[in-house]
């Protein structure tokens, strides 16, 4: 169980969150850039001390500003995968991993590090320096290094950033594997659709506050079912089409802007399914269909408004 | 000549002028004396002593500068605190101090009549007109060259490397030794070379503070000045040696920088 509760001012942003991950579960932390995701992870790891906060992990208190407890980062048993990997450039892949394996004889550290790299398909790259590795390989070395001390808690900051689709798939599989191995994992990403592939649960952070949390499926439904605006150019049949859409309950609001229908709908999928048949029935010709608000930013805006509407 | 061609010609002329002006005096040292003469004047009494003393004092002062300057530079590069800019300025001050002023200042501080003179004498340490005094003078004038460069080198290191080191269970001290220093090494080496060059050539502060006694405080630059009126040939020979050593240092820095370009050092 990892529980992070923090209030901290960061320039213009007031971070005020409480996040909990059950032991052996994986939680995704989604939200746009600048929402405070990295700061939250840094607070959990002990790299950033909030003005006010509590961090507990599996019964241990790592931070309690009320009682003046602040376990230093090097003593928190928690692996951290940094956004730009933060591999030591002067060390080879195995040496990067072995850096975490203190207190063992050198030869044993090498063996252990190489074994770990092999488990993650990096056996052949043990002697390579970070700058000769591909982005995906660097990411995996960073994960292996973070796991070397067998931490119970693993934090990953934007692990999919800067990777191509194939590498993304590898890293997603890797993260799912980490979750299934019984570690408590908190992973951040600014790309919502990717989050659901990484973790069964998600919390959404916007402007330093949680605006949504739940099973990734539920969040996906919430996003899918949000009211949407669709612009439909249907020429002369526009009036008839509008009347029919409202009649069937597919549109909650319609107006005509410069000859183009602007339809507000609560169920964009149903509208998509029914639009063609209805247009055929009323004799309207569909010239152009343009759904608005499909970008991530409007999704986050919607989630923020939705949270406000629920009185959070 | 076309109208457009005059500018490249001007550029070339300026470069040729600069090159001639800067290399001619150095070349002249070697033209005026044959290698045989150089070697035989080196064999003269005192010349090798001066060279040995120079190397010894420079090595001692560089050791002190590295040992104290590296952690100090790291602190200045990684922490922000009130008065940091003032501290940096004070540390850089000797850079712009005329050597004669540096010598007087050292006398006033740690000379026999200086503010700390009594304490140093009580501790049984002789600085002025002693070899230890040369080391003090060299350290004073050359440490800012190193600290400045080392600060820049540490500041350029990605801070997340230090964070990564901490999350891997390493104390800050271990991160400093095992990550920060190796990653900053090209910059630290460049700083060392600058300080080394400055220390080897130091003249004014040493002369004022430690004096010019053969075998005790007479480093190569002081020996050159000492011989210059009486034995020009020997002065030339010593100069040639200094040129060779300085050129070797410059070359070493270029090689370290070359390594950086090859990706040995950080991005």
Q: How large a percentage of chain A has pLDDT more than 90? A: 41
Q: In Å, how far is B180's CA from the nearest CA of chain A?
A: 9
- Report the mean per-residue pLDDT for chain A: 88
Tell me the pLDDT tens digit for each residue of A271-295. 888 888 888 888 888 888 888 877 7
Query: Measured between CB atoms, which of A74, A83, A131 is closest to B166?
Result: A74
Topology (CATH) of A226-309: Alpha-Beta Plaits (3.30.70)
Tokens of B71: 């952690």
Q: Which of A239-243, A261-265, B248-252 has the lowest mean pLDDT?
A: B248-252
In the predicted model, what is the mean pLDDT of residues B202-209?
92
Q: Give the angle B6-B9-B14 at the CA atoms, nearest 5°.
A: 125
Cα dihedral B183→B184→B188→B191 (10° resolution): 150
In the predicted model, what is the mean pLDDT of residues B80-94?
94
Position B246 scores a pLDDT of 83
- Ramachandran region of residue A207, left (φ > 0), alpha (ψ -120 to 50) or beta? left
In a domain, B106, yes or no: yes
pTM equals 0.82
Tell me the pLDDT tens digit for each residue of A200-223. 899 999 999 998 888 888 887 888
Contact A148, A116 (CB under 8 A): yes
In the predicted model, what is the mean pLDDT of residues A283-309?
80
Work out whether the CA dihedral A7, A13, A17, A22 comes out positive or negative.
Answer: negative
Residue B123, domain CATH: 1.10.3720.10
Position B41 scores a pLDDT of 73
Tokens of A246: 């409202």
Phi/psi at A47 (5° precision): -90, -15
Whether residue A86 and residue B164 make contact (CB cut-off 8 A), yes or no, is yes
Per the structure, the count of domains in chain B is: 1
Q: How large a percentage of chain A has pLDDT more than 70? A: 99
Q: Which residues contact B161 (CB under 8 A, 6 or more apart)?
A: A86, A88, B175, B179, B180, B183
Q: Which residues contact A62 (CB under 8 A, 6 or more apart)?
A: A44, A46, A55, A56, A69, A70, A71, A76, A78
Q: Which residues of chain B make contact with A73, given a CB cutoff of 8 A?
A: 163, 166-167
Rounded Cα gap, residues B221 and A36, in angstroms:
60
Rounded Cα gap, residues A142 and B28, in angstroms:
57
Per-residue pLDDT band at B266 (split at 50, 70, 90): very low
Residue A196 has pLDDT above 60, yes or no: yes
Per-residue pLDDT band at B15 (split at 50, 70, 90): very high
Q: Does A102 touch chain B (CB under 8 A)?
A: yes
Contact map slice: A 48-87 vs B, CB within 8 A: 72-76, 78-80, 82-84, 86-87
Ranges of each domain in chain A: 2-223, 226-309
Whether residue B167 and residue A72 make contact (CB cut-off 8 A), yes or no, is no
Is the ipTM, as predicted for this complex, more than 0.85? no
Q: Searching chain A, which residue's CA lies closest to the CA of residue B175?
A: A99
Q: What's the first-to-final CA gap in chain A, in angstroms?
A: 24
In the predicted model, what is the mean pLDDT of residues B196-209?
92
Position A310 scores a pLDDT of 66
Looking at per-residue pLDDT, the higher value among A268 and A55 belongs to A55
Residue A312 has pLDDT above 50, yes or no: no
Whether residue B161 and residue A131 make contact (CB cut-off 8 A), yes or no, is no
Per-residue pLDDT band at A177 (split at 50, 70, 90): confident
In the predicted model, what is the mean pLDDT of residues B147-169?
95
In the predicted model, what is the mean pLDDT of residues A163-168?
84
In a domain, B29, yes or no: no
What is the number of other CB atoms lying within 10 angstroms of the CB of residue A18?
Answer: 13
Structural domain for B61, as ranges: 46-261
In the predicted model, what is the mean pLDDT of residues B92-98?
92
Closest by alpha carbon to A16, among A36, A41, A38? A36
Residue A160 has pLDDT above 90, yes or no: no
What is the number of other CB atoms lying within 10 angstroms of the CB of residue A102?
Answer: 13
Closest by alpha carbon to A254, among A269, A241, A273? A241
Closest by alpha carbon to A215, among A203, A198, A223, A225? A203
A60-64/A52-57 β-pairing: antiparallel
Q: Which of A135-139, A251-255, B42-46, B52-56 has the lowest mean pLDDT?
A: B42-46
Closest by alpha carbon to A118, among A89, A140, A85? A140
Position A192 scores a pLDDT of 78
Phi/psi at B84 (5° precision): -60, -45
CATH node for A2-223: 3.40.50.300
Rg (CA), chain B: 22
CB pairs under 8 A between A and B: 71
Whether residue A47 and residue B163 make contact (CB cut-off 8 A), yes or no, is yes
CA distances from B262 to A55, A131, A138, B178, B180 (A): 43, 11, 19, 21, 19
């Amino acid at each position: 169980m990892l529980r992070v509760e923090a209030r901290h001012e960061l320039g213009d942003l007031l971070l005020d969150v409480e996040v909990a991950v059950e032991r052996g579960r994986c939680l995704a932390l989604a939200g746009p850039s600048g929402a405070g995701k990295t700061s939250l992870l840094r607070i959990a790891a002990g790299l950033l001390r909030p003005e006010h906060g509590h961090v507990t992990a599996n019964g241990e208190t790592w931070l309690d500003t009320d009682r003046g407890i602040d376990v230093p980062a090097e003593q928190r048993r928690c692996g951290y995968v940094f956004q730009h990997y933060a591999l030591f450039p002067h060390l080879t892949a195995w040496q990067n991993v072995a850096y975490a394996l203190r207190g063992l004889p050198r030869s044993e550290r090498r063996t252990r590090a190489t074994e770990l790299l092999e488990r993650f398909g990096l056996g052949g790259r043990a002697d390579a320096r970070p700058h000769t590795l591909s982005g995906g390989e660097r990411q995996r070395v960073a994960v292996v290094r973070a796991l070397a001390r067998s931490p119970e808690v693993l934090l990953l900051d934007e692990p999919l950033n800067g990777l191509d689709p194939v590498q993304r798939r590898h890293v997603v599989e890797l993260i799912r594997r980490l979750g299934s191995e019984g570690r408590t994992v908190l992973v951040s990403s600014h790309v919502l659709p990717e989050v659901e592939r990484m973790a069964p649960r998600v919390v959404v952070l916007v402007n330093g506050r949680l605006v949504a949390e739940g099973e990734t499926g539920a969040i996906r439904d919430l996003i899918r079912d949000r009211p949407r605006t669709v612009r439909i150019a249907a020429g002369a049949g526009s009036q008839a089409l509008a009347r029919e859409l409202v009649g069937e309950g597919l549109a909650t609001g319609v107006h005509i802007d410069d000859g183009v229908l602007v339809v507000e709908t609560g169920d964009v999928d149903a509208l998509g399914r029914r639009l063609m048949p209805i247009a055929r029935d009323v004799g309207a010709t569909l010239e152009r269909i343009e759904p608005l608000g499909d970008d991530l930013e409007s999704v986050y805006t919607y989630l923020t408004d939705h949270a406000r509407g629920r009185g959070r | 000549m076309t109208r457009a061609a005059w500018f490249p010609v001007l550029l070339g002329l300026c470069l040729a002028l600069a090159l001639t002006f800067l290399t001619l005096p150095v070349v002249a040292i070697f033209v005026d004396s044959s290698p045989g003469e150089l070697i035989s004047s080196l064999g003269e009494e005192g010349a090798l002593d001066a060279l040995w003393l120079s190397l010894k004092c420079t090595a001692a002062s560089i050791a002190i500068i590295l040992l104290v300057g590296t952690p100090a530079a790291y602190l200045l590069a990684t922490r922000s605190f009130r008065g940091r800019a003032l501290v940096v300025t004070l540390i850089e001050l000797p850079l712009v101090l005329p050597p004669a002023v540096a010598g007087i200042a050292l006398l006033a501080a740690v000379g026999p009549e200086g503010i700390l003179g009594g304490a140093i004498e009580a501790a049984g340490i002789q600085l002025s007109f002693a070899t230890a005094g040369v080391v003090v003078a060299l350290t004073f004038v050359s440490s800012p060259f190193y600290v400045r460069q080392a600060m820049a080198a540490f500041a350029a290191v990605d801070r997340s490397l230090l964070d990564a080191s901490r999350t891997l269970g390493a104390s800050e001290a271990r991160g400093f030794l095992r990550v920060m220093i190796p990653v900053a090494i090209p910059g630290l080496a460049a700083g060392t070379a600058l300080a080394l060059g400055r220390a080897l050539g130091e003249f004014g502060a040493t002369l004022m503070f430690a004096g010019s006694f053969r075998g005790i405080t007479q480093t190569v630059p002081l020996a050159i000045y000492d011989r210059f009126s009486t034995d020009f040939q020997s002065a030339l020979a010593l100069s040639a040696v200094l040129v060779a050593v300085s050129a070797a240092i410059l070359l070493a820095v270029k090689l370290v920088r070359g390594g950086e370009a090859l990706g040995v050092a950080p991005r």
